[in-house]
Chains A and B, each alone.
Chain A
């Protein structure tokens, strides 16, 4: 009993879990999990936000259920139980999208069902929900979902603005700028195609690493 107590005091609390998910342990940029939806659905901001919303819903529900069941699940069966729990909630999210946002559901295509194998969800079940109570697990899920939403929105904004010149479908940049008969600016179609996804994510991860290195250098320089 004392052993489990000391173990649980070492684990971060609800507030810490929530904040960790947003930036310090951002699932996509820091932990490199859930790459497939990050690349696939971010050519428009609307798609990115819908995807993050669906993933957060599944994450919250699966963390909650896993946390409540944590004392009943046998260790060797746990991955199977997590996966089936997640698959059940993904089915709910998918049916919901198909019913209320049919065009978006069609556009996201196979990527909604692929939330089942999104490593973010199973890693949170394993790292947090299987060891801590439902309150902490839900805070953790909201933090991770929020971090995922931040990254996906950043990708969506960059790719949609540069690729289409629009944001949420509203025009923010002119389609073409011509100065004296020479085309100075034209929307970069490549940004909405697969190569643009890889490039944007590569640059984002590079920038985050660079900021982190600067921060570390400043801290060690100050001491």
Chain B
């Protein structure tokens, strides 16, 4: 195996709507910043991989248009996943492991404001048994939250505490969208948006994106003093059939964490991609984090750009390793409804 590290990370300031820019204008500054931070230009990138979804903004073949932002001429080595950029990072990591590239640019972006996101995401579900019902993503999450509460694993108060803690942590995150001091009692006094979920239990709808540069071996050591080495990375999937799952569990997250080697050492910091408050509780039960600081960025509850929020978890952990504030961290990304698909990576700094 080659040593592969995250050496650079950049993200947009996430917001409810960025109507002033199109998708390529949204992501171009972030791609440029990620490269410039480590002094690379487009000719130094061995492989480019992006994550996006056409359904978000209704832009057919969106990723082809945003490729303009990397200057893909003469023709570059490139790929795309119709998923969060975290899975694009996984593909890039594999590409570097094969020896076909020493560096990779990975980015993910989502402009959700043009549509009604919960309705758009209903199209992710099985088209035969779910599609005609237009079961929206907030309702689906609420079915999972109810299962957690009914099972006795979680209370609405604990969910409100997660919301308050995340938004308070986000005050230190200049890129976060929803941040501030929220009172748990006041949250609990609010009406439900989708019983048992209150508005505070849900992620914001965000326009935004992020980019990461990966590098191998001595290239990584040359680009930064302290690369964030990817010591383990794995992704697994649970059934799409919500009615056949135990919604209080995410076995795929547990397995990915095991395969990534999370329990092989002390975890200083963890960034969990839990768009809804109850999902953080599920992930904490599946991924052995033992007292690690969780979501110091505020997580997806503070900003949730679709197809980027998972990649941002990797970037946030890497940033803390690169700047020396953490030695070993765990990053998690999710895709689909109810934590269906999960990716876990272990990042470490040298000595």
Tell me if chain B binds chain A. no
A residues in contact (CB < 8 Å) with B: none
Q: Which residues of B contact A (CB under 8 A)?
A: none
